[in-house]
Chains A and B, each alone.
Chain A
Amino acid sequence: MSQVSPMSSTHPAIGIAARPERRDIGLGRRYAAERRFRLYGMAAVAFGLLFLFLLLFSVVSKGYTAFQQTMITIPVEFSAEIIDKNNERASNPQKLVSANYPVVARNALARVLGVAEDDRAGLKAVNGMISDSVRVQLRNLVTANPSIIGTTQTVTFLAHGDLDSAYKGQIDLTVPETSRKVSDRQVGWMNQLAESGALAKHFNTGLFVNGASSRPEAAGVGVALIGSLYMMLIVLALSLPIGVAASIYLEEFAPKNRFTDLIEVNINNLAAVPSIVYGLLGLAVFVNFAGFPRSAALVGGLVLTLMTLPTIIIATRAALKAVPPSIRSAALGLGASKMQTVFHHVLPLAMPGILTGTIIGLAHALGETAPLLLIGMVAFVADVPATPMDPATALPVQIYMWANEAERAFVERTSGAIIVLLIFLILMNVGAILLRRRFERRW
Chain B
Amino acid sequence: MNMMSEAAVEKVLDRKMNDISYKMIGKDVSVYYGEKRALYDVNLNVRENTVTALIGPSGCGKSTFLRTLNRMNDTIDGCRVTGRITLDADDIYDPNIDVVELRARVGMVFQKPNPFPKSIYENVAYGPRIHGLAKAKADMDAIVESSLQKAGLWNEVKDRLQEGGTGLSGGQQQRLCIARAVAVSPEVILMDEPCSALDPIATAKVEELIHELRANFTIVIVTHSMQQAARVSQRTAMFHLGNLVEENDTDKMFTNPDDQRTQDYIMGRFG
Contacts and interface: CB of A to CB of B under 8 A. Distances in A.
A274 to B, nearest CB: 35
Interface in A318-350: 324, 326-337, 340, 344-345, 349
Contacts of A333: 70, 72, 103, 107-110, 181
B116 interface: yes
Interface residues of B, number: 29
A329 B109 CA distance: 10
Contacts of A349: 117
B129 to A, nearest CB: 9
Interface class of chain A by DSSP: helix
Nearest to B128: A334
Contact of B130 (A255, A327, A340, A442): A340
B107 A334 contact: yes
Contacts of B117: 327, 349, 442-443
Contacts of A336: 100, 126-127, 130
A329 B180 CA distance: 13
B104 interface: yes
Given A327-B116, A334-B126, A256 B77 contact: yes
B107 to A, nearest CB: 7
Contacts of A255: 77
Nearest to B113: A326
Contact of B110 (A256, A326, A340, A442): A326
A330 B72 contact: no
Contact of B184 (A326, A327, A328, A335): A335
24 contacts: A255-B77, A256-B77, A327-B114, A327-B116, A327-B117, A329-B75, A330-B110, A330-B114, A330-B177, A331-B116, A332-B72, A332-B103, A333-B70, A333-B103, A333-B181, A334-B107, A334-B130, A335-B101, A335-B104, A335-B127, A336-B126, A340-B130, A344-B126, A442-B117
B188 to A, nearest CB: 12
Interface of A: 255-256, 324, 326-337, 340, 344-345, 349, 442-443
Contacts of B103: 332-335
B248 interface: no
A246 B118 CA distance: 27
A256 B181 CA distance: 30
A334 B109 CA distance: 9
A337 B102 CA distance: 11
B164 A443 contact: yes
B100 A335 contact: yes
A342 to B, nearest CB: 12
B160 interface: no
The 9 closest A-B pairs by CB, nearest first: A443-B117, A335-B104, A333-B108, A326-B114, A335-B103, A334-B127, A330-B114, A335-B100, A337-B100
